[in-house]
Chains A and B, each alone.
Chain A
């Protein structure tokens, strides 16, 4: 494991993007588990479901939800970048694709979603 990191350390070679993709992937898989767990309360009728959803209305969960938005955007845009490189698009520009596409564009989309979310669900309550 340490050898793997040493091999790719130093100049940017996609290792940072690769690590981000794996970390965010694990987070999303854990989230999918929790999401199905909550949705399963649909079986027990309206009261049970609305109670299950109400657990996530607190400000802490709202902040976690905003964090989840960031994780999803990073994973999705970095995935688009990987797919483009696989298709032969921007192979010599993968570093720029990462910083401008995944991080820059990602930050803009994140702010566009996070600011209204924060205002309506954290500040507005």
Chain B
């Protein structure tokens, strides 16, 4: 009985705090994406006219984001029936967008610039219970070039 109660409390806490954190994070991501929209990023291996640029530097951005108890629970339920795990989709989406924003911010001293050969690397750095996803790290890196 107590165990069920503990799980319920954890679920409520996870839902409450997790949803609030996600909403705030998305709001901040949207703001900063607008602010940094001038920095264009490309996955192309080389700029079309490399000789045009005189400065270049490696830039990185990374973030570690943890799943909340409610999301992990929903994902656990989802794994019974299969299908899209929307609760994890938003988690990795947030992490990737945040990493890209930090990479753009790292290139600040070269503004206005473009970032080429952008690579995204996702790794799960800790496992939750039952081998589910616990915490993900996303690293974004590329080369910022400026005139």
Our verdict on whether A and B bind, yes or no, reads no
